[in-house]
Amino acid sequence: MNTLEEKIKGEMISDYRNSLEKNFDLAKKLIKISNEGTVEIIEKNKFSGEELLLLYMIGKCYAKEAGLTNSNGVSNAELINELGKPEGSVFPWLKSLRESKKIKQNNSIKPIEHFIQVNLIEEILSKLSKK
């Protein structure tokens, strides 16, 4: 019989790498990644502001996994610059995503970075791929 520790490790731990690999085919239909590690969202106009942020953060996870960037986190400036959206729009979207527990924010580093909740990658990609 498995110990509780073995059950937890085998069934409850969110495997970041596995999540990215499992959802690769969905992701590549929605996002592209540059050699510099920036993310391009395919058909941007199909998605809401919050959805654009989520897709960008998912793309950063793939960029990090590919060794194109050092972090899967995204700064405010990167989101504003790469998505071409004003900060007056981006900041409320970020707040809403934090409040709904879809993203986390790391305040201990400067500039502050935002991260997608890994356990939501599959759900988000599945939903957005149907748009």
Tell me the per-residue pLDDT of 2-20, one tens digit each, with 9 for 90 and over. 677 776 766 666 566 688 9
Residue 4 has a pLDDT of 76
Q: Taking a C-beta distance cutoff of 8 angstroms, is the pair 111, 34 a contact?
A: no
Query: What CATH number should be reported for the domain holding residue 51?
Result: 1.10.10.10
In a domain, 116, yes or no: yes
In a domain, 6, yes or no: no
* Count of domains forming the chain: 1
CA-based max dimension of the chain:
56
Residue 92 has a pLDDT of 97
In a domain, 69, yes or no: yes
Residue 131 has a pLDDT of 86
In a domain, 81, yes or no: yes
Residue 2 has a pLDDT of 67
In a domain, 41, yes or no: yes
Task: Give the domain extent around 68.
Answer: 15-129
Strands (E), the chain: 31-33, 39-41, 74-75, 103-106, 113-116
Residues 27, 71, 24, CA angle at the centre, nearest 5°? 15
Sequence-separated (6 or more) residues with CB below 8 Å from residue 121 = 19, 20, 23, 58, 61
In a domain, 3, yes or no: no
pTM: 0.86
Residue 12 has a pLDDT of 61
In the DSSP assignment, the letter for residue 74 is E
Would you place residue 124 in the very low, low, confident or very high pLDDT band (cuts 50, 70, 90)? very high
Q: Taking a C-beta distance cutoff of 8 angstroms, is the pair 102, 89 a contact?
A: no
In a domain, 2, yes or no: no
Nearest CA-CA partner of 82 in 115, 122, 118, 36:
36
pLDDT digits (tens, 9 = 90+) for 62-118: 999 999 999 999 999 999 999 999 999 999 999 999 999 999 999 888 899 999 988
In a domain, 78, yes or no: yes
Residue 10 has a pLDDT of 67
Residue 11 has a pLDDT of 64
